[in-house]
Amino acid sequence: MGIKINGFIFSIPVYLISVDTLFNNQFLLLYMTDQNVLQIYDRIIISQSLEIPPRSRLYSLKPIGVGTPYTESISSYVSRLAQEHCLPLKKLIMGEIAPAIVGDQYQPEMLSKNVSILFANSDAKPAINGMRDMTRSLVNALQQLTLCQNLQYLSCLTWKEVIKERGLFRQEKVWCPMCFEQWRQENKPIYEPLLWSFKDVTYCPQLHCKLVDRCPHCDSQQKAIANNSRLGYCDHCKQWLGYVDSDAEIKINEKERQIITGIGELIATAPLLNSPPTLPDLIQKLQLIQFSFERSLRQDLTKFITLGKILEQLKITITQHKSKPLNLINLLIPVCNLAKISISQLFKEDVSTLGSILNINLTQQYDLRR
């Protein structure tokens, strides 16, 4: 049973039908009452023609966890996009993404080639989630094809000017088998957080188990982007990589915890910044921290044990290397910990606010000791 409007029969219950092409920019409002009786209300006449939003070439897939330490990585996003289109990753990359990256250089034969034609050597490793030129190309291509904006937050492109890339990212993919298993049991999407691409992230901050880099079935290592990558499954034997290991919980040392927390903060902070941080701005903030440490030392010389080494590193960085990106793991994270500020505060707060925070943090510490 249906209703007949202008010669068209509608048999499904609907609240609003857009029929601008059929009825000259007119909407029909249909309302389902409590008694399940379909009523027709007056037409709304729209005087201007309706703007149809632009359509994306690929499904506009929403990335997972943006603004949190567990933000999805760009390599995970592209794998999930292939899954959503029911395509092998190779077909999606070589058929849709490669033309957007190589432009006029694209030849149809590339469709049958392996992804290694596009993602050679380091580009197929977790470093693709960092700050490489190919990372920028991949992000731009995916934004253009999905019309999803801000996919740069699935990489570390935000930090390219201020953080040193060398040694920061892994050569081989790692994953948390317990997270994979938990997500599967909870029917959550399987994805790979950007956090797992950092070399210094060795355990899962959520389940406190060690990240692993080999398939439990065939002992193979995995690429970040491979021809037939499927999230949560081995590239080689195709078996599921998740499992529960009740003895897997490890004791975490404080330094490791600080580093992983710092990296997580960095990932979560990127979307909160109005613009990517600049080196002169960061150096100015580090100078402020240096002055605060020196003042703190003048008040209490016993602090030299904890502050002396990092203070020396800060001085060298500020005077000799101020035009180069800085080391996240050995400089920025320890400096923030000693200044009792978060990585987020270092990048988000302006110099004046940061000065007030440092004043309180370091003075309070001094007063408590007295």
Residues that bind Zn ion (CB under 5 A): 176, 178-179, 204, 206-207, 215, 217-218, 220, 234, 236-237
CB 325 → Zn ion: shortest distance, Å? 30
CB 77 → Zn ion: shortest distance, Å? 19
With contact defined as beta carbons under 8 Å apart, do 134 and 124 qualify? no
Give me the sign of the Cα torsion angle 94, 95, 99, 101: negative
Which C-beta is closer to Zn ion: that of 57 or that of 238?
238
The secondary structure of residue 214, as a DSSP letter, is S
With contact defined as beta carbons under 8 Å apart, do 137 and 51 qualify? no
CB 124 → Zn ion: shortest distance, Å? 17
Which C-beta is closer to Zn ion: that of 115 or that of 204?
204
Which C-beta is closer to Zn ion: that of 179 or that of 224?
179
Alpha carbon distance 52, 39 (integer Å): 27
| End-to-end CA separation in angstroms for the chain | 85
Alpha carbon distance 185, 364 (integer Å): 47
Alpha carbon distance 255, 210 (integer Å): 16
With b meaning 16 or more CB within 10 Å and e meaning fewer, what string describes 27-60? bbebeeeeeeeeeeeeeeeeeeeeeeeeeeebee
Q: Which residue has the tokens 């710092």?
A: 262
With contact defined as beta carbons under 8 Å apart, do 271 and 149 qualify? no
CB 132 → Zn ion: shortest distance, Å? 26
CB 343 → Zn ion: shortest distance, Å? 21
Which C-beta is closer to Zn ion: that of 89 or that of 178?
178
Which C-beta is closer to Zn ion: that of 123 or that of 181?
181
Maximum distance among all Cα pairs of the chain, rounded to whole angstroms: 90
Which C-beta is closer to Zn ion: that of 96 or that of 235?
235
Which C-beta is closer to Zn ion: that of 73 or that of 345?
73
CB 193 → Zn ion: shortest distance, Å? 9
Alpha carbon distance 232, 317 (integer Å): 41
Per-residue tokens: 11: 């048999």
Which C-beta is closer to Zn ion: that of 263 or that of 339?
263
What type of residue is 348?
K
CB 308 → Zn ion: shortest distance, Å? 37
Alpha carbon distance 354, 367 (integer Å): 20
CB 328 → Zn ion: shortest distance, Å? 22
CB 179 → Zn ion: shortest distance, Å? 3
Per-residue tokens: 319: 């005077």
With contact defined as beta carbons under 8 Å apart, do 138 and 250 qualify? no
Which C-beta is closer to Zn ion: that of 234 or that of 286?
234
